[in-house]
Every structure is written in C-alpha cells, then in structure tokens.
Amino acid sequence: MMNKKDIEALLMKEIKSSLAESGYVEEDTPESSSVLSESYVTEAPTFKLSTELLSKKNKKAHQQLLEGYVKTLNEISAKLDTADRDSSNLNHSEFRSLKLDETYNYNAAFLHGLFFQNISDLNSTISMNSLSYMRIERDFGSFDAWQRDFIACSMAARNGWAVMGYSTMLKRYINTFIDLHSLNTMIGFHPIIVMDCWEHSYYRDYLKDRKTYVFAMMKELNWDVIENRIKIADQIHGLLK
C-alpha cells in the first residue's frame, strides 16, 4: 500500500508527463532555490487535424485560439512571479485577479489540447476488449448509455465543454460539463474524453446545430489516445484503493 507522499509523487509525475507529451513545457527552476516562484512557460503544439468534418478555416482559427490562450497564460505566469502577496485580499487585489485569470486560461489551453488529441481519427474504432469499452460499460451500464449521457452533457454546456473523466472521489468514470473554461468544475476529476462545445467550435460549419457537430466529432474519436488516458486513470484508481 503506497502512502500519501508516494501517491502525490506519482500524480505529479503523470501531470508532467502529460504536459511534455502535449508539447507544453514547464520552465526549469533550481531545486535548491529558496525563492517562491510561480513562473512557468508553456508552449502550444501545432495540431494538424485530418478530419473533413471541420473546415480549414475553422481548424486554423481554433489553432490560433489555442495559441492565444497559451500566450496569455505565460503572461499571467510572469506577472504572478512578482505579484504582491502581502496585499492579497478577497475583495480586490492584483494577486486574486491574476489567480482567477490563471485558472481560466490554464483550463482553456489544456482543454483545447486534450480535445484536439482525442478527435480527428478517420479510422475511429473501439474494441469490446479494450479497457475503454470495459470501463464505460462497467460505470455507465452500456456503451449506448454512456453516449446518450455524454451527448446530453454536450448539449447542456453553456459555451463550454463536455468531459468524461475519472472521479478520484467516486472512484469511477462519470460525464460532466464545464461552463466557459472554469465554472462547474469538479474536484478530483481526471479528464479522459473532451468535447469542445463553445459556439466558435462549430458555428462556422454547423451554424446553431450543435448536436450534428457533436455526432460528427464522436464518429472520429481517437480511441487509441483515449485508451492511454484510461490506462493512466486505472493506475490512479489502483493507488487510491
């Protein structure tokens, strides 16, 4: 049985590994430094989506949007490094405002990256023997039941995201939605399947028909990427038993 420190170390290793695989890089800081530093630097990878269910203009605009969020996140990170912590308060302070903006842009950047990674597979297939299929069947009753629930979350999001993830609190997979980038976000939630439900993600190609857009993206889910995320979530589950 691993202790709390071992679990925290594994989770931090997984987070850093995920950032590296996604093309996001954290700025190195000397371990011996005694100076509290908030600063980190992230990079936006370039995603070349092969899907024809989104237009070239849509994909280009989405890539530019991601790069904008990453640029803003880096600017916030730099400002946090020197922000006055002594004057922080709940009514109004530079530190509070920066931390709110950090969460918003951090989630925006990484949710977009997760979304781009798990769509656009022209040969999308899921095997009944895969961990993904078995975990979905176990926690949702059936694959069809998961699909209906995930689509319902996609339709319910108010300019936000539908996400299937592993709940470390419930120790099972659940569907949820996030409004904007940071509202109604569950704690202890490890994202597995991410669907962008902001109007800008589909309006150019589907106008207000969000459901047809969601169906289109789900037809090309990249189950290899999702399977790897499930394997990581299973490791976390094993440590939390």
pTM listed for this prediction:
0.84
Backbone torsions φ then ψ of 132, nearest 5 degrees: -55, -50
pLDDT at 121: 98
pLDDT at 237: 87
pLDDT at 208: 96
235, 17 in Cβ contact below 8 A? no
CATH number assigned to the domain with residue range 131-240, chosen from the 4 options 3.20.20.450, 3.90.1640.30, 3.30.420.40, 3.55.40.20 = 3.55.40.20
Sheet arrangement for strand 160-167 = 172-179, 160-167, 189-196
pLDDT at 1: 54
Ordered per-residue pLDDT tens for the chain, 241 residues: 555 566 556 655 665 555 444 455 544 444 434 445 667 899 999 999 999 999 999 999 999 999 999 999 999 999 999 999 999 999 999 999 999 999 999 999 999 999 999 999 999 999 999 999 999 999 999 999 999 999 999 999 999 999 999 999 999 999 999 999 999 999 999 999 999 999 999 999 999 999 999 999 999 999 999 999 999 999 998 888 7
